[in-house]
Structure 1
Amino acid sequence: MIETVATTPFDDQKPGTSGLRKKVPHFQTAHYVQNFVQSIFDVAKRPEKAVLVLGGDGRFFNREVVDIVIRMAAANGYGRVIVGANGLLSTPAASNLIRQRKASGGIILSASHNPGGPKGDFGIKYNIANGGPAPEGVTEAIYRRTLEIKEYRIAKAAAPDLSTPGEIAFEGMTIEVVDPVADYAALMEQLFDFAKIQALIASGFTLTFDAMHAVTGPYATEILENRLGAAKGTVVNGEPKPDFGGGHPDPNAVHAADLIARLMGDDAPDFGAASDGDGDRNMIVGRGIVVSPSDSLAVLAANAHLAPGYAGGIAGIARSMPTSQAADRVAAKRGLGMYETPTGWKFFGNLLDAGKVTICGEESSGTGSNHVREKDGVWAVLLWLNILAERGESVKAILEAHWAEFGRNYYQRHDYEEIDKRAAEKLMESLRDRLASMAGQRFGTLVVSEADDFCYKDPVDGSISTGQGVRIVFSGGSRIVFRLSGTGTKGATLRVYIEKFEPDPAKHGQNPEEALAELVETANAVGEIEKRTGRTKPNVIT
């Protein structure tokens, strides 16, 4: 039986870079989830009896919302919901299922790398039929609908048990419960030379993968241990938990410090990696060296042809604007197309669909390819392993050879988290007001060559996105970027990106803090960070 429930709008359901994210108690407000889901269903383009993919990273409140979405999908005329067993699906696995099964779209329940638990974060994101995050036109339409909604439709019956794969008839709709790992693992076997990676591991190559008690634990265990033959226990923190084991599921130097410490030790394994809450981010660490996300993107793009799935070469590379320009140097030297987009994976979708690019990446630990329309942490780990197996060199040797060929982009991101939102907005407003007069200004040895507020025109559909971050570029190619993040749930997060290009191999062994010291000092002065936020240092440096 279907019921129609009267409701009133909420004024704070505007999706950000990666969907709607709020604290769990906020989502638990009566009608809050239902209003947003109904707004998605009202706006989404779909045929009669459409197919919907559904799943999440297993964080606190995941299962309750899975049940709500199933009941509302039945009430709104969907013909089939494909859901991961126990409501689990990594974000890239969900994207793959949308594409494989020709679904009209999918709902992914995650706040990605944000903390979980009863007082942690939760999120709802809608992905369209290509498997990628809904573009701005769709998210804006969803938001407008949330401001005028007056009722939602939902089945009165409770959603059934979702623990066992199989089909279940429910209120005139079919619920298809699937193994969340199987289809994704099969795709990885098509892209990579599993036999060669197996041989590498059998030869004594050692590795460790920190799943951070997040959704990729089962994926990494099945692929690395069961299919590739890595020793049992290679995957650590492999059991997904609603609060991520009390940790913060963000694979960076702060939250994956134990992994880094292990790889820096005397008895370190050859290779280490980690992934985040919903499985779309990654960290790569070699024995004695941490690979920055920007360098990882460049290395993967330069070596992708070594994996069977990319043996014919890649069409081009795309990176988010704040990501270092290391990939640009690969594209220039290899004669590949290079695209600079705003932050947010949704901006890569058109480029991938149009065949303009094959490899994409963001400085926030996200890399991926045209196999899905999301960034993909496990994919990045497997491509690194395929490259290591083919080249027979260490992570450190590959990275140093890359710098010798293309030059080194020293790079850091400084995050100032949970600062006063108004203060953060005034800081950005002040920077924008001063842009026109910055060219030619000198800061120590640095001279500004150009400064702007990044605006992006999509080369495929012509859509324009403005206000995407302030860029200050100096003679010689160094730059500072300021932008406000759209992934937090409290206050504002100011991100400052600092980059210096060094072509001289003799200087590639420099400490990043030393190489970037003058730029860091300049960023603090130009941005008036301490004056406007009261912060003397960032919360996190990656």
Structure 2
Amino acid sequence: MDIMAAIRIVQTTPIPGMKAGTSGLRKKVVEASQANYVENFTQCVFSVYSEKENIEGCTMVVGGDGRFYNKQAIQKIFKVAAANKIGRIWVGENGILSTPSVSIIIREREDGISKGGLILTASHNPGGPNGDFGIKFNGENGSSAVEEITNKIYEESLKIETYKIADLPEIDISTIGSQTFDVEGHPFVVEVISSTEDYIRKMRSIFDFNKIKILLDRPDFSMVYDCMHGVAGPYVRAIFGDILGVPSGNLMNSTPLEDFGGGHPDPNLIYAHDLVKVMGVGKDHGIFPSFGAANDGDADRNMVLGKQFFVVPSDSVAVIAANYSCIPSFPQGCIGAARSMATSLALNAVAEKLGFPLFETPTGWKFFGNLMDAGKINLCGEESFGTSSDHCREKDGIWAVLCWLSILAHKNEGRAELLSVKDVLSEHWRTYGRNYYIRHDYERCDSDQAKAFMKSLEEKFPIFEGKADNFSYHDPVDNSTSSNQGLRFIKGNWRVVFRLSGTDSVGSTVRIYFEKHETENLEMETEAALQDVSLLMYINYLEEKNLMSLLRIKLIRNYYYLALFCERIFAIVFMI
């Protein structure tokens, strides 16, 4: 017999700060776990989305990266969903679903019947009771909600007075199966589904696992995968362990933990230090694996390493584009590609030479989703370790790793001596040139000071001896315009980009990107190649009192090669 549940109307008040960033709402657990927080946000999502779609009786997906407070939030979402007459929720076993998996389930399970989903993730941000919590809404195309929707959700959060909730009991999500409830005459079903089944089925359909296994079985090839105690673990164990035969000892940190094992689940050279050490990056001698990979908390980001070698993410998407014929995931070839503005121009060189369209968008996967839905692109990437194709509408870290293994498998067919990751990059640079590239993050800045810093830079556009602008994007699909997406300074073969990030739970992050294109000097160290970029011209951009405020920002994370020259640019005369 179905369990009966009544609906209650709960009085509430707006909670400040429910404005989604580039990929959802991210807050500290202590803030997100306060009374009515999850309920307010979820009610706002359903209230806004019901204006666009008839959600009564519909199916929606719920899951996340397994971080602290996700299980409690999922129970709250069930109750609000039931009261808003959602008919069925597909939830991953134990609440576990990677972000790309949610996108695939929305788009393909039962022929894409789902109207959307709620993903509980703060992506690469730390977890645990003192860490971050995140929640975002994806529409029926499987992509993060567009700005029109997220802006309306925020507006609704500023005026919400009540939310609806069903008096459901605690629902067991540890076992696959269905539970049905009668919510004042409306059926509500919670169906616990396999976390990995839909995703694995999709990967089998777009990759040649047999060909990859031939590569992995070579006596001169070995690989290591670091799941960073994030949601990737079950997927990686199933695909790389059970199907492709990688030894379990080579699948590191593959058990999802609420606090990510006390680590920071961000796949870069700083936080994926276990993998970096195993792969010998920065070491001159030793015996190291041929291939390494890592994913972040929700498995949408990826880092690829070769033996003693790091693949810059901007180069990674360019290599995939240049070698699409090696990858079964591109049966129609590369019909078009897109990169975020801050991502290096390496992809441009490939697009120009191979003759496919290239789009430059703001940061945020939703912009790529629009282009994919319109059939304009089937490959996209961004510098923050995100790469994907039109098989879903999110970044997909495991997919990117399988692309790299497909390239290596194809290029090593019939070869006696192994062609390495570094060899693939060297070959690519000889063909397309090399974009030396580095990014520096100044985290947890005071938001007002960060905005003042950006304004002071923009005021110096007239004295810059080159091209300088504030990037604005006109979406060719929905004709929307996104302004103030980052400051660009371009001169000759180099550029510097400044951007404020929206992925942190506290304050703002100022991100600075340096880039230089070379066609001859292809094997330099990144720091040396970019040294002259920091000395080419100057902008006297701040009064000393504002400069000193900015200098209080601690440099917490340097991506790529930990260059030292970035500290020197924070002087009274700013050198770029």
Query: TM-score normalised to the size of structure 2?
Result: 0.90
Amino acid at match of 1:176: E
Amino acid at match of 1:288: Q
Equivalent in the alignment of 1:516: 530
- Alignment of structure 1 residues 9-158 onto 2, 5 Å: 9-44=14-49, 45-47=52-54, 48-101=56-109, 102=112, 103-158=114-169
Amino acid at match of 1:198: K
Equivalent in the alignment of 1:457: 474
Question: Structure 1 residue 261: deviation in Å?
Answer: 2.0
Matched, 1:502 2:528: no
State the alpha-carbon separation in 2 of the partners of residues 5 and 217 from structure 1.
Answer: 39
Question: Structure 1 residue 202: deviation in Å?
Answer: 1.5
Question: Structure 1 residue 520: deviation in Å?
Answer: 3.8
State the alpha-carbon separation in 2 of the partners of residues 398 and 526 from structure 1.
Answer: 42
State the alpha-carbon separation in 2 of the partners of residues 199 and 213 from structure 1.
Answer: 28
- Alignment of structure 1 residues 486-497 onto 2, 5 Å: 486-497=502-513
Q: Kindly indicate whether the alpha-carbon contact (under 8 Å) linking 1:70 and 1:159 is maintained by their aligned counterparts in 2.
A: no
- Counterpart of 1:81 in 2: which secondary structure? strand
State the alpha-carbon separation in 2 of the partners of residues 521 and 439 from structure 1.
Answer: 14
Matched, 1:431 2:457: yes
Q: Deviations over 1:424-455 (max 9, x none)?
A: 111001112222x1342xxxxxxxx2000000
Counterpart selection for 1:355 from 361, 364, 375 = 375
Gaps of 5+ in 2: 1-5, 413-418, 560-576
Q: Kindly indicate whether the alpha-carbon contact (under 8 Å) linking 1:438 and 1:450 is maintained by their aligned counterparts in 2.
A: no
Equivalent in the alignment of 1:180: 195
Per the alignment, do residues 389 and 41 of structure 1 end up closer, same or farther by CA in structure 2, a change over 3 Å counting?
Answer: same
Equivalent in the alignment of 1:443: none
Q: Kindly indicate whether the alpha-carbon contact (under 8 Å) linking 2:445 and 2:553 is maintained by their aligned counterparts in 1.
A: no
Amino acid at match of 2:153: I
Equivalent in the alignment of 2:257: 241
Amino acid at match of 2:463: M
Per the alignment, do residues 5 and 521 of structure 1 end up closer, same or farther by CA in structure 2, a change over 3 Å counting?
Answer: farther
Counterpart selection for 1:262 from 275, 278, 293 = 278
Per the alignment, do residues 52 and 39 of structure 1 end up closer, same or farther by CA in structure 2, a change over 3 Å counting?
Answer: same
Tell me the C-alpha RMSD between the 2 structures: 1.5
- Alignment of structure 1 residues 321-470 onto 2, 5 Å: 321-392=341-412, 393-435=419-461, 437-440=462-465, 449-470=466-487
- Counterpart of 2:436 in 1: which secondary structure? strand
Q: Kindly indicate whether the alpha-carbon contact (under 8 Å) linking 2:107 and 2:140 is maintained by their aligned counterparts in 1.
A: yes
State the alpha-carbon separation in 1 of the partners of residues 105 and 460 from structure 2.
Answer: 47
Matched, 1:230 2:225: no
State the alpha-carbon separation in 1 of the partners of residues 258 and 98 from structure 2.
Answer: 14
Amino acid at match of 1:295: D
State the alpha-carbon separation in 2 of the partners of residues 53 and 527 from structure 1.
Answer: 48
Gaps of 5+ in 1: 441-448
Per the alignment, do residues 524 and 375 of structure 1 end up closer, same or farther by CA in structure 2, a change over 3 Å counting?
Answer: farther
Identity over aligned residues, as a percent?
Answer: 48
Q: Kindly indicate whether the alpha-carbon contact (under 8 Å) linking 1:427 and 1:532 is maintained by their aligned counterparts in 2.
A: no
Matched, 1:288 2:308: yes
Q: Kindly indicate whether the alpha-carbon contact (under 8 Å) linking 2:443 and 2:554 is maintained by their aligned counterparts in 1.
A: no
- Counterpart of 1:310 in 2: which secondary structure? coil
Amino acid at match of 2:525: N
Counterpart selection for 2:340 from 289, 307, 320 = 320
Q: Kindly indicate whether the alpha-carbon contact (under 8 Å) linking 2:442 and 2:553 is maintained by their aligned counterparts in 1.
A: no
How many residues align? The count is 530
Q: Deviations over 1:57-102 (max 9, x none)?
A: 0000000001111111111011110110011100000000010132
Per the alignment, do residues 7 and 296 of structure 1 end up closer, same or farther by CA in structure 2, a change over 3 Å counting?
Answer: same
Query: TM-score normalised to the size of structure 1?
Result: 0.95
- Counterpart of 1:495 in 2: which secondary structure? strand
Amino acid at match of 1:27: A
Counterpart selection for 1:191 from 190, 197, 206 = 206
Q: Kindly indicate whether the alpha-carbon contact (under 8 Å) linking 2:139 and 2:145 is maintained by their aligned counterparts in 1.
A: yes
Question: Structure 1 residue 492: deviation in Å?
Answer: 1.4
Amino acid at match of 1:517: Q
Counterpart selection for 1:272 from 269, 292, 295 = 292
Q: Deviations over 1:483-529 (max 9, x none)?
A: 1100011121100011000011xx11111011112324569966659
Equivalent in the alignment of 1:307: 327
State the alpha-carbon separation in 1 of the partners of residues 399 and 88 from structure 2.
Answer: 28
Q: Kindly indicate whether the alpha-carbon contact (under 8 Å) linking 2:460 and 2:541 is maintained by their aligned counterparts in 1.
A: no
State the alpha-carbon separation in 1 of the partners of residues 119 and 510 from structure 2.
Answer: 26
